[in-house]
Amino acid sequence: MAKHPVCPWWIGYLLASPVRKFLQDPVHILSPYVRAGMTVLEPGPGVGFFTLEIARLVGPSGRVVAVDVQPQMIEGLKRRARKAGLFDRIDARVAHDESMNLDDLDRAIDFTFAFAVVHETPSTDNFFAEASRAMKRGAALLLAEPSGHVGETEFNEQLAAAAAHDLKVANRISLKRCHSALLQKL
Ligand SMILES: C[S@@+](CC[C@H](N)C(=O)[O-])C[C@H]1O[C@@H](n2cnc3c(N)ncnc32)[C@H](O)[C@@H]1O
């Protein structure tokens, strides 16, 4: 699979611009899947463009586990969460290069949101192995990859890697400027 560089931390702030909502509206993208009380895993949140909306949707009884490999992204996310009054619902973690640090979450996750992250990870196979292990049976994973960086062939390779870890395509969904699919944990 093609390797892609990790997005520089300062681009995280550009990705969190409110203008992006006109292209990729977090409410529109997330509200079909995220319910109050859920535990949601978000690998590669950056500074939290989607995370804050996930935290609103899970409500005070829910939790978002946001895991990023760059400490600067996690610090930016925490700052923005505090300002929005959502800090208590967000478990923000720094991942290692080779592991997302999810050992305490076996079969705990109701929904995983992986937006524009899988192509940056060093091993697609490890990524889906870890995500799958953390997810409950029947839980969904929304996979979206930017079509400007990731070709159809690479996206299909990602789907094959996911399937090898019991994450099967339930639906191909349509999101602007993305290849995207909803996967379900068998
Ligand atoms: C292109 S940004 C997307 C950020 C966010 N998902 C969004 O759409 O606004 C990719 C993010 O994934 C993170 N990332 C890259 N490799 C990772 C890994 N192995 N584990 C966790 N996060 C990773 C990067 O640090 C960056 O914050």
Q: What pLDDT, on a 0 to 100 scale, did the predictor assign at position 3?
A: 77
Ligand 1 and 26: CB distance under 6 A: no
92 belongs to a structural domain: yes
Residue 19 lies in a domain: no
> Which of 117, 121, 124, 177 best tests ligand 1's pocket when mutated (most atoms within 8 Å of CB)?
117
CATH of the domain at 87: 3.40.50.150
Decide if 59 is inside a domain. Answer: yes
**Ligand 1 center to 143 CA (angstroms):** 13
Residue type, 64: V
Give me the mean pLDDT over the 30-45 stretch.
98
Q: Is residue 2 part of a domain?
A: no
Which domain, by its residues, includes 150?
A: 41-185
31 found inside a domain: no
Beta bridge mates, 141 = 112, 183
User: What tens digit of pLDDT does each residue of 52-96 get?
Assistant: 999 999 999 999 999 999 999 999 999 999 999 999 999 999 998
User: What sign for the dihedral angle of Cα 5, 10, 16, 21?
Assistant: negative
* Within-domain flag for 1: no
| Residue, of 18 and 98, whose pLDDT is higher | 18
Is there a domain that residue 24 lies in?
no
Are 146 and 177 in contact, with CB atoms under 8 Å apart? yes
Whether 66 is in a domain gets the answer yes
Going from the Cα of 139 to the center of ligand 1, the distance in angstroms, rounded, reads: 22
Task: Determine if ligand 1 sits within 6 Å of the CB of residue 113.
Answer: no
If one counts the domains in the chain, the total is: 1
Q: How many CB atoms lie within 10 A of CB 60?
A: 11
